[in-house]
Amino acid sequence: MFMGEKILIVDDEKEIADLLGLYLENDGYSVYKCSSGAEALCLIESMKFDLAVLDVMLPDMDGFSICRKLREQYFFPVIMLTAKVGDADKIMGLTIGADDYITKPFNPLEVVARVKTQLRRYVRYNALSASTELEPVQEYDIRGLLINKDMRKCMLYGKEISLTPLEFSILWYLCEHRGKVVSSEELFEQVWGEKYLNSNNTVMAHIGRLREKLGEPSKHPKIVKTVWGVGYTVE
């Protein structure tokens, strides 16, 4: 694990940003803090960040809008912070491309642990993408969907679809197990590498975002189908 990664904290509550920044800096990270969405977007354009922690509620724009804007061209991990306890904000954040979600008040040590987990995944993905010792090109061509593992590219009817590393891994795993119904538990444990909890909505949120990018109707998708009570499948 390389230390010194640049972490951006976007939160208008100075005490929270300073506390979180202190813990991250003590762990060896370079921390940059800002209190508004406009300032954050400007900073992101001028610097290369490895991860961002975004508060949902900001004075000029919400964290969802910032995350949505980021995902147009950046793929570094994003962790959302919110004071709301309900699942609606969590699902919203994950659907628009956030990688994790933490509810206030939080234990700073938990946030540091989550940051480390997301950075490990990101570094592992980049190492795979940059590797020159890969097997010959592997790809699936399914009814207009072309997904290439070596090039980490996804095309739909000749048009490239921009997927996050997690979205690509989900789609690849489903294509790799084409014709088989993959449970949410299996998908989560294979893609995220963590133990699945029954109350976990992460898979559902990412499937929803993936379908949106593929232009699939939620009720009658043609590529990634839901088998109710069982899981997901690519036929």
Mean pLDDT score of the chain: 84
Distance CA 231, CA 32 (A): 41
According to DSSP, the residues that pair with 32 across neighbouring strands are: 8
Per-residue pLDDT band for 68 (boundaries 50, 70, 90) equals confident
Q: Above pLDDT 90, what percent of the chain?
A: 30
- C-alpha to C-alpha distances, 52 to 8, 23, 67, 127, 172, nearest whole angstrom: 5, 15, 9, 20, 26
Query: Average pLDDT of 55-79?
Result: 88
Terminal-residue alpha carbon distance, the chain: 39
Residue 59 preceded by cis peptide, ω within 30: no
Tokens at 160, concatenated: 């490239």
At residue 141, the pLDDT reads 82
- C-alpha to C-alpha distances, 2 to 86, 128, 186, nearest whole angstrom: 35, 16, 30
Between residues 97 and 214, which one has the greater pLDDT? 214
Per-residue pLDDT band for 124 (boundaries 50, 70, 90) equals low
The answer for residues whose C-beta is within 8 angstroms of residue 86's C-beta and 6 or more apart is: none
| Element spanning 67, H or E | helix 63-70
Distance CA 71, CA 171 (A): 18
Over 80: is that where the pLDDT of 7 sits? yes
The answer for residues whose C-beta is within 8 angstroms of residue 1's C-beta and 6 or more apart is: 116, 119, 120, 123
Query: Average pLDDT of 57-73?
Result: 87
At residue 137, the pLDDT reads 43
Out of 1-10, 23-32, 62-71, 203-212, which region has the weakest mean confidence (pLDDT)? 1-10
Tokens at 27, concatenated: 């762990």
| Element spanning 82, H or E | strand 78-82
Over 50: is that where the pLDDT of 154 sits? yes
At residue 26, the pLDDT reads 93
Query: Average pLDDT of 131-137?
Result: 46
At residue 24, the pLDDT reads 95
Query: Average pLDDT of 75-85?
Result: 83
Chain centroid offset of residue 111 CA: 16
Distance CA 193, CA 220 (A): 29
Pairing mode, strands 224-227 and 159-160 = unpaired
Query: Average pLDDT of 92-121?
Result: 82
Q: Is the pTM of this model over 0.75?
A: no
DSSP helix, strand, coil percent of the chain (3-state; round to 5): 40, 20, 40
* Residues 32/57, Cβ–Cβ less than 8 Å: no
At residue 210, the pLDDT reads 92
